[in-house]
């Protein structure tokens, strides 16, 4: 049995639940918005750590789960804790929501079955340049990067690379934008807080979703600097599945595994001269956008991975811990 945890209507989780239903894979859904009906317990035992989840009164021992796909949201993001929400003025309910999330995260990190993805494994994404060092060690190229709060360094970097972009250093979502000295944004503005700049890498965006040992590569064509926000700029985006070069595919699979992940969304760019640059490994990818636009069967792959079954019915390898 697979456990799905998070907001079931959120597209990545919704698609995976639908895939489990279509494939006839036994599953149970932990709806974070109905935490009052969810109990979670964890304890030490003779063979390590043990735990159970109760959903609507039914108990599901963690040791009996085949796999978990979890996309929990921060408790403060839940509508229930907002003004007018069902837990609005009820501090006890709000605390219980937060406690449920805390203990769920603990459980996700120690559960013996494969977990997509363990919270501790997702932490590298907190710092893009921190993660970039791991990407470089894995064998992919990274953009030349400068983090600075010195205007003279920014101007020098621009002179060196001619086209540069800026983005957040952390996991805070930002729109990637190009910077030039002449576009009205004063270089001295970086003096407030160090900002990340990168040399613009020309070429074609390729998004790779890795599920265990399987890659789904999608080529993206967009006129926008950041294709994710092309619509805002009135720029269209099209996608198509492609095959990666074997070496690049192998690196993506190895990088995902080395980061402790089962599922990843890797942002690549193929330059006109055939080099491959990597910008980020997303540990909680919203793959639904690519599945729906490019027809990639990612949700099915997730369910097969977690249910330990390949398309031919044989077993997958799995990330199983020895204890819990």
Partner 1 sequence: MMDLLLLGDRRDRLLGAVARHFRENRPDVPLRSCRLEDLASARWSYRLGNSEAASRVILADGHALTERPSLVLNRLRFEPGLLFTAMTPVDRDYARTEFLALVMSWLAGLEAVMVNRPTALGLAGPALRPWQWLGAAHEAGLAPYPGRAGNSARRLASGANEPGWASRGDLLRILANPAMAYVGANRPYALAPSCEETVRIDIIGGEPAASRAVDTRTLEACRNLARSVSADILSVILGKPAGEGWHFLSADPAPAEMAGPALHRLCDWLAARL
Q: Which residues bind partner 1 (CB under 8 A)?
A: 35, 38-44, 48-49, 52, 54, 91-92, 95-96, 98-100, 102-103, 105-107, 109-110, 120, 123-124, 126-130, 132-133, 136, 141-142, 144-150, 153, 168-172, 192-195, 321-324
Q: How far is the CB of 260 from partner 1 (least distance, A)?
A: 9
As measured in angstroms, the least distance from the Cβ of 154 to partner 1 is 9
* Number of other residues whose CB lies within 10 A of the CB of residue 135: 24
Burial class (CB in 10 A: 0-12, 13-18, 19+), 75: buried
Strands 195-199 and 67-71: unpaired
- Tell me how far apart the alpha carbons of residues 200 and 202 are, in angstroms, rounded to a whole number: 6
**CA dist., res. 247 & res. 111, Å (int):** 32
Cβ 322 to partner 1 shortest distance, Å: 6
Q: How many residues does the chain have?
A: 324
**Residue whose C-alpha is closest to residue 302's, from 27, 7, 9:** 27
Q: Of the two residues 34 and 105, which places its CB atom closer to partner 1 in the complex?
A: 105
Q: Which is nearer to partner 1, 48 or 241 (CB)?
A: 48
Residue with Cβ nearer partner 1 (73 or 126): 126
Cβ(167)–Cβ(198) below 8 Å: yes
Residues facing 106 on adjacent strands: none
Nearer to partner 1, 174 or 214 (CB): 174
Query: Which CB sits closer to partner 1, 15 or 101?
Result: 101
CB of 238 to partner 1, least distance (A): 30
Whole-number minimum distance, CB 110 to partner 1, in Å? Answer: 4
């Amino acid at each position: 049995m697979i456990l799905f945890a998070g907001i079931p209507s959120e597209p990545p989780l919704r698609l995976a639940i639908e895939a489990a239903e279509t494939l006839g894979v036994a599953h149970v859904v932990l709806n974070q918005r109905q935490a009052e009906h969810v109990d979670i317990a964890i304890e030490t035992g003779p063979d390590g750590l043990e735990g159970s989840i109760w959903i609507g009164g039914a108990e599901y021992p963690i040791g009996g789960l085949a796999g978990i796909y979890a996309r929990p949201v921060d408790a403060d993001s839940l509508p229930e804790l907002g003004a007018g929400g069902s837990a609005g003025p009820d501090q006890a309910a709000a605390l219980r929501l937060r406690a449920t999330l805390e203990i769920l995260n603990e459980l996700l990190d120690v559960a013996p079955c494969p977990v997509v993805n363990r919270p501790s494994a997702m932490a590298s994404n907190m710092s893009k340049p921190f993660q970039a060092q791991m990407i470089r060690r894995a064998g992919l190229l990274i953009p030349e990067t400068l983090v600075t709060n010195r205007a003279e360094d920014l101007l020098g970097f621009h002179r060196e690379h001619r086209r540069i972009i800026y983005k957040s250093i952390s996991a805070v979502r930002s729109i990637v934008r190009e910077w030039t000295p002449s576009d009205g944004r004063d270089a001295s503005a970086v003096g407030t807080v160090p900002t990340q700049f990168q040399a613009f890498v020309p070429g074609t965006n390729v998004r790779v979703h890795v599920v265990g040992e399987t890659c789904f590569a999608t080529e993206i064509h967009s006129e926008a600097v950041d294709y994710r926000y092309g619509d805002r700029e009135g720029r269209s985006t099209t996608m198509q599945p492609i095959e990666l070069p074997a070496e690049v595919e192998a690196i993506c699979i190895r990088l995902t595994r080395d980061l402790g992940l089962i599922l990843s969304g890797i942002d690549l760019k193929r330059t006109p001269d055939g080099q491959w640059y990597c910008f980020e490994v997303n540990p909680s990818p919203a793959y639904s956008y690519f599945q729906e636009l490019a027809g990639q069967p990612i949700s099915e792959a997730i369910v097969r991975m977690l249910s330990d079954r390949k398309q031919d019915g044989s077993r997958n390898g799995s990330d199983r811990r020895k204890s819990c």
